[in-house]
């Protein structure tokens, strides 16, 4: 007699058994999963919003040096991220395939974020210190984010529940962004005797919260969905196969690039716009809130929107709304504060829709990849998503520094008219172009909800056939289920 995960193979009904892992996540587990999203973005949003400005105006290195740092770091990430995805698939621990990384890397990752906002006393070592700490941060970020985001594909196979789970996580993430917008301006000015100390102490507090959030999620969340039926060891060429054969993943990859480049760019250069174009540094906290707060509310409605019009249309709708907001921003004068805030708020609202659906679409490409290649490689799929975010960080970091250097930007000085115009473009039209590219490419995405369910049925059929032949079926949960004879 054979069993799979405690279920008699002889009792399996293919018409219903494909939903065996359509698990409804309990509220406590969902809250824990959302908690790591809150802690992660509490830190990550701080880095995307403030790091470039911190490097040029507080740490004290030039825009050209920042550009070189971001570029070299991303070249390394092109190797490091897929490699981490492969390692994540290859290694298994007592806590599971993904959760162990989240638990044990939480503290080292937190330390790396504090070092990012630490300024050495010796000017001679500043550049080297920035390079070492930024690249170390990037590697630890990869080691954390790939397992953490891959976890949702293993918690449940239900596409609706995945949408709900990831929408809630992104809701919590944006709350973390709001927390960052409120806490960082306050803490950086009230802690320490200088801005350098203020930023360092502020990040230390946020990093502690972040580390706790990852460790709690690792302990509470569970891995359930089985891996591929194949008994062959993981192959590093699986990375190449996923990237070349998994076409829905490629379209999602481009949409990730567009959405994250848009958000990171408008976040990182917003500080320049408020400081130099609006000449209202006192509004920086409010400006940061406008970048994050409007994106929270649509996350509550994304699951309902998906049930009504489907994931693809929701994704395109969110990008289109953000595009409208950026165009409104672009045509508003520097003195039209109300319209600038409205345009920025609309852009943020659309991005909230985009956030809620991006991480809900990605798990579906894991099943598609398994269907095409015969191998379930969630870690590889999510490593490519991580890589897309890293590339977005590069584009959103390099483009502004190149532009600012070209228009002779003067840190803490009076800016020329051409420089102010460039800052306006960086806050509106340039990120809008990336969104438009994402809309055009993602319009070709064809993995509908109906097609996804057909694929899950086929994968279930393959697992059942493997069970009949006596092939071991690995599970990503703590207790591996095997076929007993």
Residue 213 forms part of a structural domain: yes
Residue 380 forms part of a structural domain: yes
Q: pLDDT (tens digit, 0 to 9) for every residue of the chain, 485 residues total?
A: 343 333 333 344 444 555 677 788 899 999 999 999 999 999 988 988 888 888 988 888 888 888 889 888 888 887 777 777 777 767 777 777 889 999 999 999 999 999 999 998 887 788 999 999 999 998 999 889 888 988 888 888 787 788 888 888 888 988 898 888 888 888 888 888 888 999 999 999 999 999 999 999 999 998 887 665 444 455 667 777 877 888 999 999 999 999 999 988 998 888 889 999 998 888 877 888 888 889 888 888 888 898 899 999 999 999 999 999 999 999 999 889 999 999 999 999 999 999 888 888 888 898 898 888 888 777 778 777 878 888 888 888 889 888 988 998 888 888 899 999 999 999 999 999 999 999 999 999 999 888 988 888 888 887 777 666 655 444 443 333 333 33
Domain count across the chain:
1
- 151 and 221 Cβ atoms separated by less than 8 Å: yes
Residue 230 forms part of a structural domain: no
CATH of the domain at 103: 1.20.1250.20
Residue 484 forms part of a structural domain: no
116-to-4, 65, 145, 203, 378 alpha-carbon distances in Å: 47, 15, 18, 9, 30
- 274 and 287 Cβ atoms separated by less than 8 Å: yes
Domain residues for 80? 21-220+236-460
| Residue partners of 417: CB distance under 8 A and separation at least 6 | none
Residue 15 forms part of a structural domain: no
Residue 340 forms part of a structural domain: yes
Residue 231 forms part of a structural domain: no
Q: Is 4 helix (H, G, I), strand (E, B) or coil?
A: strand
What is the chain's Cα-based Rg? 23
Residue 163 forms part of a structural domain: yes
pTM above 0.85, yes or no: no
How far apart are alpha carbons 110 and 100 in whole angstroms? 16
């Amino acid at each position: 007699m054979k069993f799979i995960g405690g279920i008699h193979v002889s009792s399996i009904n293919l018409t219903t058994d494909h939903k065996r892992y359509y698990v409804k996540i309990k509220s406590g587990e969902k809250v824990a999963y959302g908690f790591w999203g809150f802690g992660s973005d509490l830190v990550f949003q701080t880095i995307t919003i403030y790091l470039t400005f911190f490097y040029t105006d507080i740490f004290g290195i030039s825009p050209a040096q920042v550009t070189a740092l971001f570029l070299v770091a991303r070249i390394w990430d092109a190797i490091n991220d897929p490699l981490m995805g492969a390692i994540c698939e290859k290694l298994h621990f007592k806590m599971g395939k993904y959760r162990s990384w989240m638990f044990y890397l939480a503290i080292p990752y937190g330390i790396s974020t504090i070092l990012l906002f630490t300024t050495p006393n010796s000017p001679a070592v500043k550049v080297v210190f920035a390079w070492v700490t930024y690249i170390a941060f990037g590697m630890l970020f990869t080691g954390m984010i790939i397992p953490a985001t891959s976890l949702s594909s293993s918690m449940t196979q239900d596409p609706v529940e995945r949408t709900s789970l990831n929408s809630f996580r992104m809701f919590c993430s944006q709350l973390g962004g709001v927390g960052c917008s409120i806490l960082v301006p306050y803490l950086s000015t009230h802690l320490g005797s200088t801005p350098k100390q203020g930023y360092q102490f502020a990040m230390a507090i946020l990093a502690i919260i972040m580390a706790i959030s990852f460790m709690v999620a690792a302990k509470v969340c569970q891995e359930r969905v089985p891996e591929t039926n194949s008994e062959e060891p993981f192959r590093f060429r699986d990375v190449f196969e996923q990237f070349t054969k998994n076409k829905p993943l490629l379209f999602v990859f481009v949409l990730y690039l567009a959405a994250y480049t848009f958000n990171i760019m408008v976040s990182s250069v917003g500080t320049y716009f408020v400081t130099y174009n609006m000449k209202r540094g006192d509004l920086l906290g409010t400006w940061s809130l406008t970048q994050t707060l409007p994106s929270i509310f649509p996350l509550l409605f994304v699951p309902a929107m998906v049930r009504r019009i489907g994931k693809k249309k929701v994704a395109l709708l969110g990008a289109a709304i953000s595009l409208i907001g950026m165009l409104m921003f672009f045509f508003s004068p520097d003195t039209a504060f109300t319209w600038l805030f409205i345009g920025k708020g609309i852009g943020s609202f659309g991005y909230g829709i985009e956030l809620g659906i991006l991480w809900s679409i990605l798990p579906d490409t894991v099943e598609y990849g398994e269907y095409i290649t015969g191998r379930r490689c969630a870690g590889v799929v999510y490593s490519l998503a991580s890589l897309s975010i890293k590339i977005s960080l590069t584009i959103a970091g390099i483009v502004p520094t190149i532009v600012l250097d070209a228009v002779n930007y003067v840190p803490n000085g009076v800016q020329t008219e051409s420089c102010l115009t460039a800052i306006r473009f960086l806050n509106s039209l340039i990120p809008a172009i990336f969104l438009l590219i994402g809309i055009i490419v993602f319009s070709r995405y064809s993995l509908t909800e109906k097609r996804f369910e057909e694929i899950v049925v086929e994968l279930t059929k393959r697992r059942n056939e493997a069970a009949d032949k006596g092939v071991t079926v690995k599970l990503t949960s703590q207790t591996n289920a095997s076929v007993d004879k």
